[in-house]
């Protein structure tokens, strides 16, 4: 039986979409369309302190402007708390997670500054630490070394890199449930992709390293891994990756400036960007 492709685009409604989002969504959309499959839209609004309803409406507006067709059964992470709690309980029950009371400042102070492209790794300060007993909130961290020991060697498939040996240790004991939310990104995205039957994850190369952790969590939760497609990133004229926090030009602004969406989409499909933008190497 031939399995049809199921891809997704999963933005956080913390601001308006920019050109990088458009490129990623278009890549995922076209992959599903080529495979006569489904293109899903998932709203990652688990952080209710930063997410806004108006930005959800903006995502719909931008998708319509770009001419993208998506499955109208949109999933919101804010409706999925019980699923994340069940997944977390399963990991904790297996003895593969521990509580972490560290503040952000304490974590930053305990981690050496990264050298080159090497990302800082949490040193396991709270592993084996008892409850301080003062009622302070805590997050849950994945005990990566123990999970790796039990799992043995894992691998995942990338459309460009081919078969990739999973090395989750590179990110250390990541947070899987936050102090202020029922799940963190690494746990929520794996649970949701598995539940929605996503066969192909399309996202930027900046998330390539995260896939090593996701493969490990998939193994722990008995979730079948999808194929991964990590595409090039879009940069501005200064060589800076487009990001909401850096106030990248939005699609809404491009629309207001009279940009032709059909020409824009055709250019993105052909690998041609508007003036002032370039792809990463």
pLDDT in tens, 81-90: 999 999 999 9
Is residue 115 predicted with pLDDT exceeding 80?
A: no
Structure tokens at 276: 């002032």
CB 28 within 8 A of CB 219: no
Instruction: Report the distance separating Cα 228 and Cα 221, nearest Å.
Output: 19
Same topology between domain 1-79+232-281 and domain 81-197+206-223: yes
Residue 116: pLDDT band with limits 50, 70, 90:
very low
- Report, as an integer, the average pLDDT of 67-87: 96
Ranges assigned E (strand) in the chain: 6-9, 38-43, 75-76, 97-100, 139-142, 155-158, 162-165, 175-177, 200-204, 227-231, 234-236, 277-279
Is residue 184 predicted with pLDDT exceeding 90?
A: yes
Domain ranges, ordered by start, for the chain: 1-79+232-281, 81-197+206-223
Domain 81-197+206-223 belongs in CATH node 3.40.50.620? yes
Q: Each residue of 83-113: pLDDT tens digit?
A: 999 999 999 999 999 999 998 888 888 775 4
What values do phi and psi take at 76, rounded to 5? -110, 130
Look at domain 1-79+232-281 and name its CATH class.
alpha beta
The whole-model pTM stands at 0.93
Is residue 1 predicted with pLDDT exceeding 60?
A: no
Is residue 202 predicted with pLDDT exceeding 80?
A: yes
């Amino acid at each position: 039986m031939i399995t049809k492709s199921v891809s997704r685009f999963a933005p956080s409604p913390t601001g308006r979409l920019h050109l990088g989002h458009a490129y990623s969504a278009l890549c995922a959309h076209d992959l599903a369309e080529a495979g006569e499959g489904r293109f899903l839209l998932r709203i990652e609004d688990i952080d209710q302190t930063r997410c806004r309803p108006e930005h959800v409406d903006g995502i719909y507006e931008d998708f319509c402007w770009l001419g993208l067709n998506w499955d109208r059964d949109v999933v919101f992470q804010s409706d999925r708390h019980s699923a994340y709690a069940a997944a977390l309980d399963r990991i904790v029950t297996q003895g593969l997670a521990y509580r972490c009371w560290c503040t952000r400042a304490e974590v930053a102070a305990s981690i050496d500054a990264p050298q080159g492209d090497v990302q800082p790794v949490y040193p396991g300060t709270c592993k084996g630490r008892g409850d301080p007993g003062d009622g302070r909130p805590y997050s849950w961290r994945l005990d990566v070394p123990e999970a790796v020991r039990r799992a043995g060697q894992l691998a995942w498939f990338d459309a460009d890199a081919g078969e990739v040996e999973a090395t989750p240790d590179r990110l250390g004991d990541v947070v899987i449930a936050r102090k202020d939310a029922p799940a963190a990104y690494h746990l929520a995205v794996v649970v949701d992709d598995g539940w929605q039957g996503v066969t192909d994850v399309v996202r930027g190369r900046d998330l390539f390293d995260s896939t090593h952790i996701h493969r490990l969590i998939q193994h722990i939760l008995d979730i079948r891994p999808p194929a991964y497609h990590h595409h090039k990133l879009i940069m501005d004229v200064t060589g800076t990756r487009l990001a909401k926090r850096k106030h990248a030009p939005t699609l809404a602004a491009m629309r207001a400036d009279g940009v032709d969406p059909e020409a824009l989409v055709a250019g993105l499909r052909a690998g041609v960007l508007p003036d002032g933008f370039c792809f990463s190497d």
